[in-house]
Structure 1
Amino acid sequence: MDDHELPDDGDIETRRAAITRLGEQLRELTHVMVSTEMPTDVLDEATETLRALTGTLGAKTRGLHEVPSVDDFDAGIRMFNAGSGPANPTAPPVVARMVDGRVIGRATVGLAHEGHFTLAHGGILAVLLDDVLGRTVIAHATAPSMTAGLELRYRKPVPLHTPLVITGELVGIEGRRVTVRGTICAEAEPDVVLTEADALFVQLREDQMVTMFGSTTGAGAGVAQASET
């Protein structure tokens, strides 16, 4: 997209709502696709339909270093974030809020993120925890930070299609180092920890932000881009 301008078909909120609807539909399609047992000819027909849709959506795209037109880093809006982006079809997505100094996230893992049969893949659990712990750091740190270490302990299997609660809390801040811990529990059994994690985040220096994100273009680019965790 040239000059990072919105298409002239509506305001930013209208566009965010539209891209969210598209992401939700693609997310639903993904979960259906990994469970379908339709005949081969139907699969081939669906492939051609999706190929045409890919061409339609791909006719105008942003570059790798261009901030999405629907994002607002200052407001914490990341529409395509891998963990919590409502428009990202691969995201669960996590919905989080602050409660008494902790970040409480909620999500449900579907069949597209299956590991062993009927159970969530360990990798998606890491995504959930990293997202919530990153939000925890943002709430307490004084500078944009990035994950330096994430240690998970899988205490019990996490079932699919089960509402989950992901909790993040601050352990301490020492210089640029921020330590946090988190847990995943089933909403129906909040006292039973399924997965737990300890993480270290490092607050970035200004020169590091320039080195990593200096080529980013668009609204909220540069330093704001480093808010990604």
Structure 2
Amino acid sequence: MTPDAEGAVHDPELMAAVADLGDALRGLVDASVRTTVPPAELREVAAAVRAARGRLAARTRPATQLPVLDDLLAFRRVYNPVTGVGSALAPPIRFREDADGVVAETSFGLAYEGPPGFLHGGMSGLVVDQALGVAAIRAGLWGMTARLELDYRRPVPLETPVVLRAAVAENAGRKVVVTGTVALAATPGTPLVEARGVFVLPREELRATYFAEITDASGRHAPPSRPTDATAPAGGAA
């Protein structure tokens, strides 16, 4: 077992295999939206993909059980649709802390296209919501999105380096206000998308209801929490 950058222990062989499969699936998705091969080839590939799906489906987990590699206190979610290394949907985006909050660089391929040549507006909302949430977590806070406001200043071009930034603007107990931007890496001072999110930590009784059935891979009850939450294990870190 090996600790990651957050100090959370994981099986390095399993992590490498999950990341390898995720990378292969993202490559498949990208190729599937670019290909111009004839119908017969498409059908052969579809059959091969279904066969692969059958192998993966031989052993599965219920939706209420966290993957064995996940660690909620370390904010490690391997199948997160924005940051998960094992997700076929995620770019994936890797955030890091900076002086103001968090920052990440990425680019978006054709699988995320909305208007021709540009990022789908819903995808902008997805990645920005994630960025704001990561900024809150990195500040030692946690909450669920209660409000998300986006101003689309200009379209986000595909296959072009962009930079995402987010920082906590206000911390009022259970409510946290976070702001963020998406900009071209070449002109980071000119936002293409501006966002403001309100994250609220649900009351204890609501959390008990929302996450009553969530367990870790061993079957132990494992609801999300934060360092300032009395339900967090001693010494835990978000």
2:64 pairs with 1:65: yes
Shift of residue 226, structure 1, vs aligned partner? 8.3
Task: Quote the Cα distance in structure 2 between the aligned partners of 1:208 and 1:107.
Answer: 36
| 1:164 aligns to 2:162 (yes or no) | yes
Task: Kindly indicate whether the alpha-carbon contact (under 8 Å) linking 2:165 and 2:180 is maintained by their aligned counterparts in 1.
Answer: yes
* TM score, norm. by length of structure 2: 0.86
In structure 2, the partner of 1:129 is 128
**4+ residue runs of structure 1 moved beyond 4 angstroms?**
none
Query: What is the CA–CA distance in structure 1 between the aligned matches of 2:135 and 2:121, rounded to whole Å?
Result: 21
Aligned to 1:151: 149
Q: Are the counterparts in 1 of residues 183 and 191 from structure 2 also a CA contact under 8 Å?
A: yes
Q: Per the alignment, in what secondary structure is the counterpart of residue 19 of structure 2?
A: helix
Instruction: Report if aligned partners of 2:214, 2:223 keep a CA contact under 8 Å in 1.
Output: no
Q: Which amino acid aligns with 2:144?
A: M
Instruction: For 2:191 and 2:205, locate their aligned partners in 1 and report how far apart those are by CA, in whole Å.
Output: 40
Shift in Å, 1:187: 1.0
2:40 equivalent in structure 1 = 41
CA contact (8 A) 1:67 1:218 kept: yes
| Residue 85 to residue 225, structure 1, CA distance change in 2 (3 Å) | farther
**Structure-1 separation of matches of 2:80 and 2:105:** 15
Q: Which residue of 2 aligns with 1:114?
A: 113
Change (3 A) 1:202 1:151: same
Taking every aligned residue pair, what percent have the same amino acid on both sides?
36
State whether residues 152 and 192 of structure 2, in contact with CA within 8 Å, keep that contact through their aligned partners in structure 1.
Answer: yes
C-alpha contact (below 8 Å) 2:163/2:184 kept by paired residues: yes
Task: Give the 3-state SS of the residue equivalent to 1:104 in structure 2.
Answer: strand
Deviations 1:85-122 (A, max 9, x none): 11101011111011013111222111000001111101
In structure 2, what residue type is equivalent to 1:161? E
Instruction: Tell me if the contact between 1:141 and 1:203 (Cα under 8 Å) persists in the aligned partners.
Output: no
Bigger proportion of residues as helix: 1
Unaligned runs of 5+ in 2: 1-9, 228-238
CA distance change for structure 1 residues 130 and 108 in 2, over 3 Å: closer, same or farther?
A: same
Deviation at 1:12, TM superposition (A): 1.2
The 2-side partners of 1:136 and 1:153 are apart by: 19
Partner SS state of residue 74, structure 2: coil
One-letter amino acid of the structure 1 residue matched with residue 204 of structure 2? E
TM-score by length of structure 1 reads: 0.89
Closer, same or farther: CA 62–24 of 1 in aligned 2, 3 Å: same
Name the aligned partner's letter for residue 126 of structure 2: V
Query: Take 2:139 and 2:202, find their aligned partners in 1: how far apart are those partners?
Result: 14
* Structure-1 residue corresponding to 2:177: 179
SS of structure 1 residue aligned to 2:73: coil
Residue 176 of structure 1, CA deviation:
1.5
Determine if contact 1:133/1:180 at 8 Å carries over to the other structure.
Answer: yes
CA 134–221 in structure 1, closer or farther in 2 if over 3 Å, else same = farther
CA distance in 2, matches of 1:221, 1:121: 37
